[in-house]
Amino acid sequence: MAKSEIKKVVLAYSGGLDTSVILKWLQTTYACEVVTFTADLGQGEELGPARDKALLLGIRPESIYMDDLREEFVKDFVFPMFRMNALYEGQYLLGTSIARPLIAKRQIEIARAVGADAVCHGATGKGNDQVRFELAYYAMEPSIKIIAPWREWDLGSRTKLIAFAESHQIPIAKDKYGEAPFSVDANLLHSSSEGKVLEDPAVEAPEMVYMRTIAPEAAPDKATTITIDFEKGDPVAIDGVRMSPATLLTKLNELGKANGIGRLDLVENRFVGMKSRGVYETPGGTILHQAHRGIESITLDREAMHLKESLMPRYAELVYYGFWFTPEREMIQALCDRSQELVTGGVTLKLYKGNVTVIGRESPYSLYDKELVTFEEGAVAYDHRDAQGFIRLNALRLRTLEMRRRKAGA
């Protein structure tokens, strides 16, 4: 791609060292106009400094976009994924993965609005995020040009980044001069920590890594009991108080943090082919995951549930790999959402020292029939003798196989 082809680029900008260096590098290397986009996904950081630094680096006020996407993030991305009970490799609640398509979507929308011919991200060449961002860019805008500095420049170390920043009068926070003990990515759903002190999977993560949860050992000795109400598979209220999607997840995060819930130390398989160790904190999401499975247990038909569960690993892979805007993900989502039409009711949970336990569930559409399953004689017409024919029919192929085995051995 000829650098002269780029006239205007939209940069996913956090205001940190890396993206500030990228901003100046774009200006000096591509000699193009830069538009910055900073998304508020509930990462818990003050976004004002990002605007100030962008202005300092010569970005015009009208070219600085700072969007509060928390409600859209939870309603249109987190909740659909949680309807599917998605877990990557059986454990990871996909907190980083699910944020990338929304950031990319808004970035492309801004590029269209300002007439930009390129977009830029700060993901490294070893990670999953470069794939997630770029697949989403191309899915939404097939002809878009993509700039990935970490695959182009020679600033391959923190020392070189700092030297570049100093030579171009880019302000550097004092804590950035030292080697960061690990890197962090955060949003309203989770925080993710990896690298440096976490690179040896045999060594326990130090307590300083955990920022969104207290240690389970330090959690209260008394359990917290809550009820979450669902409508069509989505949570709508906690203890009878209706809340917006982002407000509800924020409240669950507070409850999870106070009870030491949501820690995960995981060695996972990256899409690019290597294994990596990450420490995740998903306090509210962990509670929500268990609650949703609880309401499904009484409202989903057995075969519908089993079919949905069989598709879950595939769905989770699609989200993890970055294939959110694809027909296959949308097809599975449509099946999932169809299954949720009567997933309505309340789930009561006990939160205690890192654990989430479902202790009650009820629904106006419950398939649970107390009279049908009771050990006592009930009024329901269930003849125990019917089970004999049912068993013999299911055993027919097994009996046939055994008779063939005996014949072959004779």
| All domains in the chain, ordered by first residue | 3-72+96-179 (3.40.50.620), 184-362 (3.90.1260.10)
Which DSSP category does 224 fall into? E
Within 3-73, residue ranges assigned H as helices are 17-29, 48-56, 70-73
pLDDT of residue 158: 82
Does the pTM of the predicted model rise above 0.85? Answer: yes
Give the Cα separation of 37 and 112 in Å (integer). 13
Reading the block at residue 233, the tokens are 């598979």
Give one DSSP letter per residue of 154-213, joined into a string. Answer: S--SHHHHHHHHHHTT----GGGSSPPSSEEEE-SS-EEEESGGG--TTSPPPGGG--SS
Q: CA torsion, points 215, 217, 218, 219, in degrees to nearest 10?
A: 90
Q: Tokens 């962990």 belong to which residue?
A: 286
Give the Cα separation of 342 and 334 in Å (integer). 15
Tell me which residues are annotated as active site: 18, 100, 129, 183
Q: Which secondary-structure segment (H or E) carries 258?
A: helix 245-258
pLDDT of residue 179: 63
CA-based end-to-end distance of the chain: 74
Predicted confidence (pLDDT) per residue in 30-67, tens digit: 999 999 999 999 998 888 889 999 999 999 999 999 99
Q: Which secondary-structure segment (H or E) carries 7?
A: none
Q: Name the residue among 285, 372, 274, 281 with its Cα closest to residue 78.
A: 285
Averaged pLDDT, groups of 10, the chain, 410 residues long = 83 93 95 97 89 94 97 98 98 98 98 98 92 98 96 89 91 67 92 94 96 97 98 98 98 98 97 94 98 98 98 98 98 98 98 98 94 66 85 95 89
pLDDT of residue 171: 85
Give the dihedral sign, CA 84/322/112/188.
positive
3-state secondary structure of 227: strand
* Length, in residues, of the chain: 410
pLDDT of residue 157: 83
* pLDDT mean across residues, the chain: 94
Query: Are the C-beta atoms of 123 and 148 separated by less than 8 Å?
Result: yes
Predicted confidence (pLDDT) per residue in 96-151, tens digit: 999 999 999 999 999 999 999 999 999 988 889 999 999 999 999 999 999 999 99
pLDDT of residue 358: 98
Give the Cα separation of 38 and 106 in Å (integer). 10
Q: Which secondary-structure segment (H or E) carries 130?
A: helix 129-140
